[in-house]
Structure formats: structure tokens, C-alpha cells
């Protein structure tokens, strides 16, 4: 049996945990959570390093670019406060 290619593995994991933050080490899921902060807290508490942490967006978030929109709003607020 051949090992699954990394991009294929990531896409499979994302499809299984939509709307969640995921910590993946090698081919093993080490944590799944609703927030990035919870993932980082678990990794720190358990002393796990070398973990790839990513988010699996929902279909609605993909459609509207939700994550990118939020960051753009933050940048706009920062620019307005500097003026």
C-alpha cells in the first residue's frame, strides 16, 4: 500500500472536519477544534511540536471568502485609525 500524497490527505481531512481547525502531524490527526486558540493550547499542554495547523472552511465561507474578508476589514480599521 502506498502512502497518500500530502495534498490529497489534507483535502480528505478537511472534507471530514468542515468548519474546524485541525492539527495534523505526518498522517495523524492530533487535534480538531472549533478555534485556533484551542488547538494551540492542546499542542502546548501536550508538548506536541511539528504540527501543521489549518482551517477547513464551510461552503458558505468558501463562497464569500469569509476568512479573507475579515482580515481586509481589520486592515481597513487599522488604516483609518492611523489617519
d(CA 72, CA 17): 26
- Assess whether pLDDT exceeds 90 at residue 62: no
The answer, as to whether pTM is greater than 0.85, is no
- Assess whether pLDDT exceeds 50 at residue 57: yes
**Confidence tier at 5 by pLDDT (50, 70, 90):** low
For 13-34, how does the pLDDT look when each residue is reduced to its tens digit (9 = 90+)? 999 999 999 999 999 999 999 9
Average pLDDT taken over every residue of the chain: 81
d(CA 45, CA 19): 23
Listed by start position, the domains of the chain span 6-82
Taking CA atoms, 15 is separated from 2, 9, 28, 70, in Å, by 21, 10, 15, 23
C-alpha cell at 46: 501536550
C-alpha cell at 67: 476568512
- Assess whether pLDDT exceeds 90 at residue 67: no
Amino acid at each position: 500500500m502506498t502512502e497518500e500524497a500530502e495534498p490529497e490527505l489534507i483535502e480528505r481531512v478537511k472534507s471530514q472536519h468542515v468548519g474546524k481547525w485541525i492539527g495534523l502531524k505526518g498522517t495523524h490527526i492530533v487535534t480538531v477544534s472549533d478555534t485556533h486558540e484551542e488547538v494551540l493550547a492542546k499542542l502546548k499542554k501536550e508538548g506536541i511540536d511539528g504540527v501543521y495547523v489549518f482551517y477547513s472552511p464551510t461552503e458558505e465561507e468558501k463562497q464569500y471568502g469569509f476568512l479573507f474578508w475579515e482580515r481586509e476589514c481589520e486592515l481597513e480599521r487599522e488604516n483609518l485609525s492611523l489617519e
